[in-house]
């Protein structure tokens, strides 16, 4: 009985097993069969020498015309050796294949032999040749046309191979395995398979490797691609169902409560999107199982207000809420702005506080012990309705009286584990969870990476937002543009506005810590990225002399960072030279210019995030993307794309397309890397939606998959490989 779990050793022989293990880490039959061919070659095309390009790695089928062994003495060697020169033909043209130190080739490649040759095309003595190709004998014939009669299939699978384990060796190993494999159970239930017109699993496994024609290959791949989406979506459907089965405390809105009074005190009108999503959240908070929702929206689309309104509903219903921010700067800023927005509603127990006011507390790692104790007390007693902080909130010592809602700001900085830890804080009844992100996530990625969350999207920006004009400043060609940029900064400051200058590095570190970019053979000599410390010094002494210029970066002590941000927000600082600490959520509406130095060192989404820090009020913004990357370079193209649009969704897509597929999910959430071979989360939107719907209905009818053991096994093995992924990382 040979199954997908059978070790390769018993099936393909010892030598192949060792080779396959060391080349690809294959252990089982299933590992080998999951190594799908990269493409199919038409044997007909392989017999034509006309299109061979020098320098290319090619595979050809050819007939041996003649073979001779030539004795020669390699340079520096004392003894002579043999070189075999094999002349091969496609029936019309000739090509030479050369083998070194393998005189036995003369015997095995007798004239008339037909074989598959695979190697790099080189030129020797002005003739094209294949140097030391791999060589698989297909048969013997007198005429090249007799290929048609050979056993060899017309369509030849080409595998990702190594020097030791060739594509042909893989074909052979797969052939041996498929010959003895017992049909594996099909993880996709029959009714799903039929309604999606998919071939059975066993058939797909065999046809993806040994198709009779490209259509079979295509259909087999379609089936296996569906599997990848389907198994993943079944995991997620099961998780969603589990969430739905958990209890949560319903949090009804209260007449005359904080939320109502907050709404009537708002200095602006909520956008339609804010209102619609607000209603969605409100309804979910009233249910008796936990909300688990992702709120995504452009930078500046007003997510915080949406979250705050949900928090107030929970407080009105007797619960506490936590807001998790990725940095201390951002936590402190949320604290200030939320307290300001709430006004008397947040002054419980203080003079001028409203009757049933709540309290907003900040909890960070850099707080004094005394202050910290007081805050912990407020949290434990339930006086603090809103607790804002970094992951310090996740520490075990922090006890909530009644945690009802957790809001996680900028999800991409938080892992799944942290989400789980916070859920644990609420004891037996899990809190409602709202995750916010300003990095727009294409629908399919959301369905895959965040498939266990429901998604709400805020598309429009509040009315009256001024536009941000972005320009690429190429210092190599147009140094005067940068000079003009600094002038612009001075003008904006003269008009009462402020500026950010962003650099990739802090600076002032020991030489050894400086990361040199790897030198490119062709490119200009590389230099370390520009540093905050250097740029600030140069600007203060030169183009921005006389302005109130400060530095902000992650190495400053927490209270100093906070102090600088507060002074900046109060308008006491004109120019902030900073690292990307300002990237996430920092909100000073009066800033009208941002100069990003070495802009090519940032990714598309990151630049978009950075740019979101300006144009937040009614002041129009200017963003200068400064780079010395040469015109026509990929980096320049990327920057031009960022400058050309402010549509975060379009940019997110661009960003994802620039990454390797595996990294797309990796960047979103750990794990799930190895499981996707044929499925592209960017291209296969239809497959993913179909699979999601199918998975949903299967789980609805059979939540524990008792009637679908093969699917259950597929889930278990996916989860096991994910688990392995986590382990490797830590």
Question: Which residues of the chain form contacts with ligand ADP (CB under 6 A)?
Answer: 268-271, 274, 297, 299-305, 438, 462, 585, 587, 616
User: What burial class does residue 89 get, using C-beta atoms within 10 Å of its C-beta: 0-12 exposed, 13-18 middle, 19+ buried?
Assistant: middle
In the complex, residue closest to ligand ADP by CB: 302
Q: Which does 569 bind (CB under 5 to 8 A by kind): ligand ADP, Mg ion, none?
A: none
Distance CA 184, CA 30 (A): 10
What DSSP designation does 164 have?
S
Tokens of 194: 């039929």
269 or 716, CB closer to ligand ADP? 269
Least distance to ligand ADP, CB of residue 266, Å: 8
Q: Which does 615 bind (CB under 5 to 8 A by kind): Mg ion, ligand ADP, none?
A: none
Question: Which positions lie near Mg ion, rule CB under 5 A?
Answer: 304, 585
504 or 615, CB closer to ligand ADP? 615
Q: Which does 301 bind (CB under 5 to 8 A by kind): ligand ADP, Mg ion, none?
A: ligand ADP
297 or 404, CB closer to ligand ADP? 297
Q: Which does 648 bind (CB under 5 to 8 A by kind): Mg ion, ligand ADP, none?
A: none
605: CB partners within 8 A, 6+ apart = 439, 651, 652, 655
Least distance to ligand ADP, CB of residue 497, Å: 16
Q: Which does 299 bind (CB under 5 to 8 A by kind): Mg ion, ligand ADP, none?
A: ligand ADP
Tokens of 603: 């990714």
Distance CA 725, CA 489 (A): 47
DSSP 447-459: HHHTTTSEEEEE-
CA gyration radius for the chain? Answer: 32
Least distance to Mg ion, CB of residue 724, Å: 35
505 or 616, CB closer to Mg ion? 616
Least distance to Mg ion, CB of residue 272, Å: 19
Least distance to ligand ADP, CB of residue 230, Å: 35
Q: Which does 364 bind (CB under 5 to 8 A by kind): ligand ADP, Mg ion, none?
A: none
Q: Name the residue among 306, 317, 278 with its Cα closest to residue 404.
A: 317
| Residues facing residue 68 across a β-bridge | 85
Least distance to ligand ADP, CB of residue 606, Å: 15
Q: Name the residue among 167, 161, 160, 360 with its Cα closest to residue 258.
A: 360
Least distance to ligand ADP, CB of residue 42, Å: 54
Evaluate whether 310 touches 471 at the Cβ level (below 8 Å): no
Q: Which does 16 bind (CB under 5 to 8 A by kind): ligand ADP, Mg ion, none?
A: none
204: CB partners within 8 A, 6+ apart = 198, 219, 220, 223, 224
158: CB partners within 8 A, 6+ apart = 37, 38, 39, 40, 41, 59, 167
Q: How many CA atoms lie within 13 A of 618 on its CB side?
A: 2
The span from the first CA to the last CA of the chain, in angstroms, equals 38
Least distance to ligand ADP, CB of residue 403, Å: 22
613 or 708, CB closer to ligand ADP? 613
Q: Which does 290 bind (CB under 5 to 8 A by kind): Mg ion, ligand ADP, none?
A: none
464 or 546, CB closer to ligand ADP? 464
Q: Measured at the alpha carbon of residue 562, what is the angle toward residues 556 and 566, in degrees to the nearest 5?
A: 135
304 or 321, CB closer to Mg ion? 304
105 or 303, CB closer to ligand ADP? 303
229: CB partners within 8 A, 6+ apart = 679, 684, 687, 688, 690, 691, 692
Number of residues assigned to the chain: 730
Least distance to ligand ADP, CB of residue 324, Å: 14
Q: Which does 305 bind (CB under 5 to 8 A by kind): ligand ADP, Mg ion, none?
A: ligand ADP
433 or 438, CB closer to ligand ADP? 438
Least distance to ligand ADP, CB of residue 456, Å: 12
CA–centroid distance for 42 within its chain? 35
394 or 588, CB closer to ligand ADP? 588
Q: Which does 300 bind (CB under 5 to 8 A by kind): Mg ion, ligand ADP, none?
A: ligand ADP
């Amino acid at each position: 009985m040979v199954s997908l779990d059978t070790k390769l050793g018993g099936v393909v022989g010892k030598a192949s097993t060792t080779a396959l293990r060391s080349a690809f880490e294959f252990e089982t039959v299933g590992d080998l069969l999951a190594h799908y061919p990269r493409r199919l070659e038409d044997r007909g095309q392989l017999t034509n020498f006309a299109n061979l390009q020098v320098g290319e790695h090619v595979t050809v089928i050819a007939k041996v015309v003649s073979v001779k062994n030539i004795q020669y003495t390699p340079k520096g060697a004392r003894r002579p050796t043999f070189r075999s020169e094999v002349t091969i033909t496609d029936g019309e043209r000739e090509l030479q294949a050369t083998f070194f130190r393998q005189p036995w080739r003369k015997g095995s490649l007798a004239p008339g032999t037909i074989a598959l040759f695979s190697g790099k095309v080189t030129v020797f003595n002005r003739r094209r040749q294949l140097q030391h190709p791999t060589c698989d004998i297909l048969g013997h014939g007198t005429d090249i046309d007799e290929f048609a009669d050979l056993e060899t299939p017309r369509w030849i699978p080409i595998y990702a191979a190594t020097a030791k384990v060739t594509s042909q060796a893989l074909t052979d190993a797969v052939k041996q395995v498929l010959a003895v494999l017992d049909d594996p159970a099909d993880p996709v239930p029959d009714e799903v398979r039929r309604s999606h017109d998919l071939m059975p699993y066993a058939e797909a496994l065999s046809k993806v490797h040994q198709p009779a024609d490209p259509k079979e290959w295509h259909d087999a791949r379609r089936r296996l691609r569906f599997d990848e989406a389907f198994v993943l979506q079944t995991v997620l459907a099961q998780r969603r169902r589990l969430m739905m089965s958990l209890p949560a405390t319903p949090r009804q809105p209260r007449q005359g409560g904080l939320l109502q009074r907050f709404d009537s005190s708002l200095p602006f009108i909520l956008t339609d999107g804010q209102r619609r999503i607000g209603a969605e959240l409100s309804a979910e908070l009233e249910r008796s199982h936990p909300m688990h929702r992702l709120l995504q929206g452009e930078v500046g689309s007003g997510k915080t207000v949406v979250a705050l309104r949900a928090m107030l509903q929970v407080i009105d219903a007797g619960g506490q809420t936590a807001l998790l921010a990725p940095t201390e700067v951002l936590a402190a800023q949320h604290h200030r702005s939320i307290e300001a927005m709430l006004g008397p509603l947040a002054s419980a127990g203080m003079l001028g506080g409203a009757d049933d006011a709540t309290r907003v507390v900040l909890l960070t790692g850099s707080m004094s012990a005394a202050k910290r104790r007081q805050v912990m007390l407020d949290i434990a007693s339930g006086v603090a309705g809103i607790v804002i902080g970094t992951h310090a909130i996740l520490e075990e010592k922090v006890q909530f009286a009644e945690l009802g809602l957790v809001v996680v700001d900028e999800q991409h900085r938080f892992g799944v584990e942290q989400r789980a830890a916070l859920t644990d804080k609420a004891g037996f009844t899990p809190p409602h969870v709202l995750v916010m992100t300003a990095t727009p996530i294409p629908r399919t990625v959301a369905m895959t990476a965040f498939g266990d969350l429901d998604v709400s999207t805020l598309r429009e920006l509040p009315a009256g937002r001024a536009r941000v004009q972005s320009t690429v400043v190429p210092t190599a060609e147009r140094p005067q543009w940068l000079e003009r940029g600094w002038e612009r900064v001075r003008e904006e400051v003269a008009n009462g506005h402020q500026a950010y200058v962003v650099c990739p590095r802090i600076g002032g570190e020991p030489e050894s810590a400086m990361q040199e970019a790897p030198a490119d053979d062709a490119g200009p000599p590389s230099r370390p990225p520009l540093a905050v410390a250097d740029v600030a010094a140069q600007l203060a002494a030169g183009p921005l002399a006389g302005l109130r210029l400060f530095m902000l970066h992650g190495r400053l002590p927490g209270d100093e960072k906070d102090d600088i941000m507060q002074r900046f927000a109060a308008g006491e600082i004109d120019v902030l030279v900073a690292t990307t600490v300002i990237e996430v959520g920092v909100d000073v509406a009066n800033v009208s210019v941002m100069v990003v130095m070495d802009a090519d060192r940032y990714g598309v989404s990151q630049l978009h995030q950075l740019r979101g820090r300006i144009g937040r009020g009614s002041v129009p913004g200017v963003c200068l993307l400064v780079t010395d990357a040469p015109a026509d370079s990929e980096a320049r193209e990327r920057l031009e794309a960022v400058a050309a649009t402010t549509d975060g969704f379009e940019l997110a897509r661009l960003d994802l397309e620039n990454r390797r597929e595996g990294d797309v999910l990796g960047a979103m959430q750990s794990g799930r890397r190895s499981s996707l071979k044929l499925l592209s989360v960017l291209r296969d939107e239809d497959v993913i939606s179909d699979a999601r719907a199918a998975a949903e209905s299967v789980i609805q009818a059979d939540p524990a998959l008792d009637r679908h053991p093969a699917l259950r096994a597929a889930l278990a093995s996916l989860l096991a490989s994910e688990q392995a992924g986590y382990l490797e990382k830590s």
